[in-house]
Amino acid sequence: MTDNFRGALLMMGAMALFTLNDTCTKLLSGDLPMSQIITLRGILTSVGTALIAWRMRAFAHRLNRRDAILVLLRTLAEVGGAYFFITALFNMPLANVTAVLQSAPLAVTLAAAVFLGEKVGWRRLVAIGIGFCGVLLIVRPGPEGFNLFAINALISVMFVTARDLFTRRLSRAVPSMLVSFATAVGVTLFFAVSAIGDTWVPLDTRAVGLIGTSAAALLFAYLCSVAAMRAGELSFVTPFRYTGLIWALLLGLVAFGDWPTWPTLLGAAIVVGSGLFMLYRERRLGLTPPSATRTPRA
C-alpha cells in the first residue's frame, strides 16, 4: 500500500466519521436542547483531545503573543461556525448542509486573495464564481427553497473561512493537537454558558449512545484527517475530503429518508467540480492547498 493510497483511505474514513457525527447530532435534535447536546459531546471530546495532546507533549509548547491571539480568534470563529452549522443541520437535510459546506475551500481561496494578498489567477476566480453559483442552486433563493436556515448554513461557511485564514497565519511550530484542545474547550464553554437558560432533559439509553458515538466519531475523525495529511501528498489526499458529500447522501437517506432534489444534486456537483478544479490548478502552480483537516466541533 503506497503512502498516497493510505492517506486517501484515512481521509475517506475521516469524512465518514465527521458525517456520522453530524448524523448522530441531528438524530438528537428533537429530543434534547442543542446546548445540552453540544455541551455533553464537547466534554467528552475535550477530555479525549486533552489526553492525546498530553501524550503527544503538545502542552509543552509555549505560545507566543501572536500565536495566542490567533488561537483565540480561531476558537471564536469555530464557535460561530459550530453554532450556525448546527442550527442549519437541525433544520435542513443533512446532504444540503454538507453540500453548502463544501464551498468553504472556494471561500478560503477568495478571502486569502482579498485579505492576505495571495495571488489568484483568472481561472481560479472563474472556478470560484461557478462554485458559488452551485451554492445558489443548493439554497435556491426564492419563496420555496430559501429560508433562515439556509442563511445559517451560509454564515457558517463565513466563519469556517475566517477560521481557516487564522489557521494559515499560525506558526508551523504550533502543535495541531494544542490548537484542537483550545478549540474544543472554547466551543464547549460557549455552549455550556448558553445552556444556563435551558431546561436539560434526562438522558435515556438512546441519547447516551448517540452522544457517545458522536464524540468518538469526532475524535477519531480528527486523528484520521491529521494522519492522512502526514501519510500522503497534500495534492493527492485533499480531493478525497469531498467524499463526505457521498456519506451525507447515504446517511441522510438511511437515517432520515431524505434525498435531495435535482437542483440540489446539480449544485453540489458544481461545487465539488469547482473545488477539484481549484486543487488541480494549485497542484499545477505548485501551491499548497488549503488545510483539509477539520477541528472537532466540541
pLDDT digits (tens, 9 = 90+) for 90-149: 999 999 999 999 999 999 989 988 988 888 888 999 999 999 999 988 887 655 556 788
Could you read off the pLDDT of 32-42 as tens digits, one per residue? 999 999 999 99
Residue closest to 29 by CA, chosen among 259, 258, 210, 184: 210
Domain holding 244, by residue range, is: 3-285
Q: Cell numbers of 14, please?
A: 475521516
Q: Looking at the domain assignment, is residue 298 inside a domain?
A: no
Q: Looking at the domain assignment, is residue 291 inside a domain?
A: no
How many other β-carbons are positioned within 10 Å of the β-carbon of residue 251?
A: 21
Residue-level pLDDT at 96? 94
Q: Looking at the domain assignment, is residue 297 inside a domain?
A: no
Higher local confidence (pLDDT), 248 or 238:
248
Q: Cell numbers of 261, please?
A: 432534489
CA 295 to chain centre: 7
Q: Cell numbers of 86, please?
A: 448546527
Length in residues, the chain: 298
How many distinct structural domains can be found in the chain?
Answer: 1
pLDDT at 30 over 80: yes
Q: Looking at the domain assignment, is residue 292 inside a domain?
A: no
Tell me the helix, strand and coil percentages in the chain, rounded to 5. Answer: 80, 0, 20
Q: Looking at the domain assignment, is residue 62 inside a domain?
A: yes
Q: Looking at the domain assignment, is residue 33 inside a domain?
A: yes
Q: Looking at the domain assignment, is residue 168 inside a domain?
A: yes
Prediction pTM value: 0.90
Residue closest to 257 by CA, chosen among 18, 17, 26: 26
Q: Cell numbers of 240, please?
A: 478525497
Q: Looking at the domain assignment, is residue 251 inside a domain?
A: yes
Report the alpha-carbon distance of residue 202 to residue 182 in Å, rounded.
29
Residue-level pLDDT at 197? 83
Report the alpha-carbon distance of residue 81 to residue 75 in Å, rounded.
10
Q: Cell numbers of 64, please?
A: 507566543
The CA–CA distances, whole Å, from 211 to 38, 80, 189, 275 equal 9, 21, 17, 32
The CA–CA distances, whole Å, from 118 to 83, 108, 157 equal 29, 11, 20
Chain mean pLDDT for the chain: 89
Strand (E) or helix (H) holding 244: helix 243-256
Report the alpha-carbon distance of residue 175 to residue 39 in Å, rounded.
25
Report the alpha-carbon distance of residue 277 to residue 224 in Å, rounded.
25
- Cβ contact 71:82 at 8 Å: no
